[in-house]
């Protein structure tokens, strides 16, 4: 209640603020990316100023990250000049993102030089943004802007130069290109930061719209090799279908053109960051041709695409802040991220990037993972959203007790419950598709933000199908719920089961990420070397005293191997004696008996009674 009030207040603040447009001032930004292979970008900003005390700030709260992730430690080589003189600057002693200075009399422009180190700690998380062959540029990493201004009111004329022979993709519109310099049409700082650029020595553009058709959709791909760009005709067709299906789902588009920026590299950070007119997607180099990577990453572009409607256009009021320094509030991320996750996965199936069986296997794994989450006994789902800034970069040790960013996956189950409830309440006349058309739809137009509150959401759901949505959502989100919300799967005509047949997504992930998932049998995941990644509290392994960070050395007296543990679990059904694990904890070893006789436990969905609503949900809307 209290937080919802704050959200309403912020929404008002936002709209009042939006109407107070002051005269625009244009910053010139020149970025030299020729040093990208060693992960340092050089930038010069020319900022109009007046004499007197002046403060510049570095963007701190980055949209889509939902946390203060602006990589301030990576800001280096900072120098200020005005009227031909060097100007001393002073970092604020409390706010690490603010720099104070005095602009001398007569100066009208401040020249700021800076370098951004892009080796790690960028907006995407960990890992480098550039390699010998590719780069990603998030403009927030190379800009400072005057404190107290609205990024909407600050105009930036940006240009870049690239390593020789590299080509680029971005949603920014080109002004002109020549002598190695690429100059973009001036845009607001908001639009600039919302329009990242990728570039690489291996580049391919795939047109997703027919000539003459608008808005234009393209995939801009960069990779470490030509083979990394080998998108099959079937995938190209599926992405065209994705564009059509998203259009049919929402009934309007809130962009003038759309660029899927797609980086295929094992050298740079894997990522997925949404923007209004583009998305920044990073996957492994062989994702287009390796069947396991393809399966695991199929939902990425659909997810980020859906964000253009859900997250960028419609945004929770607490995340629609007036500038990059204002803290964001993570409440309602179970709409922002989870409805996107739900619709993204549905569109992955509707566009043919997944078969219905692949969709169901993904859903089964999500449901099983959440139903075994021990942390749900103490932490309500909303707290995982509100705590995004604490949880985002933590490792997997004790994650089952702490909970991770569960609002994504658990929210997906909740939105399935909402969808199947609407379908049942209206006897098949309405669905969540109708909600999307009303909440995210017409009119089409250029990017804009329409903030909403919990009450707005409930009202919009009630307009589609009258129901006590506030009660349902409050129960699911704000109450401690020891079991995962499986009602959507059950209303959909399916049930969650476990057997010894591998789940296809877990099987692919185990091969790709070189680990073993025994979460629903012994209660742990373990690397191929025997290191325990996490242990579920309450599981046989936990009861025996084993914890994450320890290492399995032997199983029933025989040296550890991943195949040995799998065979031992499989045969545990016919075995009366406990499974004995010899485990090291730093320098000490100990034998732990695990009293387990349940065999392999892999999650699947099995058809139950009633109508197969899941099948209806996955049917494409377009021919
Ligand atoms: Zn997302």
Instruction: Give residue-wise pLDDT tens across range 198-247.
Output: 999 999 999 999 999 999 999 999 999 999 999 999 999 999 999 999 99
- Do residues 285 and 335 both lie within one domain? no
3-class secondary structure, 38: helix
**Are the CB atoms for 173 and 197 separated by under 8 Å?**
no
Instruction: Give me the mean pLDDT over the 180-191 stretch.
Output: 96
- Do residues 480 and 562 both lie within one domain? no
CA pair distance 155, 322, nearest whole angstrom? 16
Nearest to 413 by CA among 151, 614, 117, 173: 614
3-class secondary structure, 267: coil
Q: Is residue 588 part of a domain?
A: yes
How many structural domains are present in the chain?
Answer: 3
pLDDT over 70 at 14, yes or no: no
Report in angstroms the alpha-carbon separations of 183 from 2, 158, 258.
Answer: 47, 6, 19
Q: Is residue 247 part of a domain?
A: no
Measured in Å, residue 595 CA sits from the centre of ligand 1 at 40
State the SS3 of 537-580: CCCHHHHHCCCCCCEEEEECCEECCHHHHHHHHHHHHHCCCCEE
- Do residues 366 and 435 both lie within one domain? yes
CA pair distance 51, 57, nearest whole angstrom? 18
Measured in Å, residue 306 CA sits from the centre of ligand 1 at 9
CA pair distance 565, 522, nearest whole angstrom? 10
E-strand spans in 138-215? Answer: 145-146, 154-161, 167-170, 174-178, 181-184, 187-188, 197-200, 202-207
**Are the CB atoms for 89 and 101 separated by under 8 Å?**
yes
Measured in Å, residue 234 CA sits from the centre of ligand 1 at 25
User: What region, left, alpha or beta, does residue 59 occupy, with left being phi > 0 and alpha being psi -120 to 50 degrees?
Assistant: beta
CATH number at residue 595: 2.30.42.10
Measured in Å, residue 341 CA sits from the centre of ligand 1 at 7
Measured in Å, residue 265 CA sits from the centre of ligand 1 at 21
Measured in Å, residue 125 CA sits from the centre of ligand 1 at 14
| Domain edge (last residue) among 263, 286, 306 | 306
- Do residues 363 and 215 both lie within one domain? no
Q: Return contacts of 20-25, CB within 8 angstroms, 24+ apart.
A: 21/152, 21/153, 22/150, 22/153, 23/153, 24/153, 24/154, 24/155, 24/188, 25/149, 25/153, 25/154, 25/155
Quickly state the pLDDT bin for 123 (edges 50, 70, 90): low
Q: Is residue 532 part of a domain?
A: yes
Quickly state the pLDDT bin for 20 (edges 50, 70, 90): very low
Measured in Å, residue 248 CA sits from the centre of ligand 1 at 21
Per residue in 309-341, is it b (16+ CB within 10 Å) or e — as a string?
bbbbbbbbbbbbbebbbeebbbbbbbbbbbbbb
- Do residues 324 and 302 both lie within one domain? no
3-class secondary structure, 530: coil
Q: Report the pLDDT value the prediction gives residue 122, as an integer from 0 to 100.
A: 62
Q: Report the pLDDT value the prediction gives residue 5, as an integer from 0 to 100.
A: 23
DSSP single-letter state for residue 265? -
- Do residues 325 and 224 both lie within one domain? no
3-class secondary structure, 292: helix
Q: Report the pLDDT value the prediction gives residue 17, as an integer from 0 to 100.
A: 31
Rg, Å, the chain Cα set: 26
Length, in residues, of the chain: 623
Measured in Å, residue 83 CA sits from the centre of ligand 1 at 45
Measured in Å, residue 408 CA sits from the centre of ligand 1 at 8
CATH number at residue 214: 2.60.40.3650
Q: State phi, psi for 413 to the nearest 5 degrees.
A: -65, -35
Measured in Å, residue 280 CA sits from the centre of ligand 1 at 11
Q: Is residue 384 part of a domain?
A: yes
Strand ranges of the sheet holding 588-594, from the earlier edge strand across to the other edge? 558-559, 551-555, 579-585, 588-594
CATH number at residue 456: 1.10.390.10
Measured in Å, residue 303 CA sits from the centre of ligand 1 at 6
Q: What is the pLDDT of residues 375-407, one digit of tens each?
A: 999 999 999 999 988 888 888 999 999 999 999
Show the domain range for 354.
314-493+608-618
DSSP single-letter state for residue 435? H
Residue 5: count other Cβ atoms within 10 Å of its Cβ. 10
- Do residues 327 and 458 both lie within one domain? yes
- Do residues 442 and 523 both lie within one domain? no
pLDDT over 70 at 1, yes or no: no
pLDDT over 90 at 157, yes or no: yes
Instruction: Give me the mean pLDDT over the 426-451 stretch.
Output: 97
- Do residues 296 and 320 both lie within one domain? no
pTM above 0.85, yes or no: yes
The structure tokens 């006590």 sit at 468
């Amino acid at each position: 209640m209290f937080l919802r009030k704050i959200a309403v207040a912020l929404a008002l603040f936002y709209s009042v603020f939006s109407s107070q447009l002051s005269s625009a001032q244009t910053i010139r930004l020149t970025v030299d990316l020729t040093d990208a292979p060693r992960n340092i970008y050089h930038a010069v900003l020319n900022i109009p100023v007046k004499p007197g005390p002046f403060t510049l700030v570095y963007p701190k709260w980055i949209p889509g990250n939902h946390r203060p992730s602006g990589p301030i430690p990576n800001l280096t080589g900072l120098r200020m000049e005005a009227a031909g003189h060097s100007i001393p600057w002073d970092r604020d002693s409390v706010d690490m993102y603010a720099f104070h200075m005095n602009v001398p009399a007569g100066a009208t422009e401040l020249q700021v030089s800076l370098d951004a180190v892009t080796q790690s700690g960028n907006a995407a998380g960990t890992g480098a943004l550039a390699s010998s062959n590719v780069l990603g540029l998030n403009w927030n990493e190379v800009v400072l802007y005057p404190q107290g201004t609205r990024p909407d009111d600050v105009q930036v004329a940006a240009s870049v130069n690239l390593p020789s022979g590299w080509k680029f993709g971005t949603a920014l519109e080109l002004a002109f290109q020549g002598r190695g310099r690429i100059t973009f049409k001036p845009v607001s700082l908001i639009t600039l930061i919302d329009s990242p650029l990728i570039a690489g020595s291996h580049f391919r553009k795939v047109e997703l719209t027919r000539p003459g058709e608008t808005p234009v959709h393209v995939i801009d791909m960069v990779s470490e090799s030509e083979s990394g760009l080998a998108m099959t005709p079937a995938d190209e067709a599926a992405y065209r279908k994705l564009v059509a299906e998203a259009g049919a789902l929402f009934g309007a588009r809130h962009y003038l053109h759309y660029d899927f920026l797609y980086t295929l590299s094992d050298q740079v950070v894997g990522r997925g960051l949404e923007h209004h007119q583009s998305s920044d997607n990073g996957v492994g180099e062989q994702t287009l041709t390796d069947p396991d990577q393809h399966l695991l990453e199929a939902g990425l572009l659909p997810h980020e695409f859906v964000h253009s409607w859900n997250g960028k256009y419609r945004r929770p009021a607490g995340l629609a802040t007036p500038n990059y320094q204002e803290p964001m509030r993570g409440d309602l991320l179970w709409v922002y991220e989870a409805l996107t996750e739900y619709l993204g996965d549905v569109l992955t199936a509707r566009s043919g990037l997944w078969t219905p069986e692949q969709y169901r296997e993904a859903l089964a794994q999500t449901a099983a993972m959440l139903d075994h989450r021990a942390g749900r006994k103490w932490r309500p789902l909303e707290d995982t959203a509100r705590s995004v800034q604490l949880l985002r970069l933590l490792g997997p040790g004790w994650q089952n007790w702490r909970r991770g960013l569960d609002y994504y996956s658990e929210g997906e189950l909740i939105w399935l419950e909402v969808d199947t409830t609407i379908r049942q309440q209206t006897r098949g006349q309405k669905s969540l598709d109708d909600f999307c058309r009303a909440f995210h739809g017409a009119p089409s137009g250029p990017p804009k933000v329409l903030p909403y509150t919990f009450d707005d959401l409930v009202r919009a759901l009630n307009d589609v199908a009258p129901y006590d949505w506030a009660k349902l959502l409050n129960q699911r989100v704000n109450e401690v719920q020891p079991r995962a919300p499986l009602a959507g799967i059950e209303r959909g005509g399916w049930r969650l089961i476990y057997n010894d047949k591998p789940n296809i997504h877990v099987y692919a992930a185990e091969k790709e990420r070189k680990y073993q998932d025994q979460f629903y049998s012994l209660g742990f995941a373990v690397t191929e070397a025997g290191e325990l990644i996490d242990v579920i509290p309450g599981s046989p392994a936990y009861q025996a005293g084993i914890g994450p960070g320890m290492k399995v050395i032997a199983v029933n007296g025989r040296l550890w191997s991943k195949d040995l543990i799998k065979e031992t679990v499989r045969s545990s059904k016919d075995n009366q004696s406990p499974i004995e694990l010899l485990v090291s904890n730093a320098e000490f070893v100990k034998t732990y008996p695990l009293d387990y006789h349940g065999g392999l436990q892999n999650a699947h969905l099995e058809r139950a009674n009633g109508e197969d609503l899941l099948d209806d949900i996955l049917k494409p809307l377009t021919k």
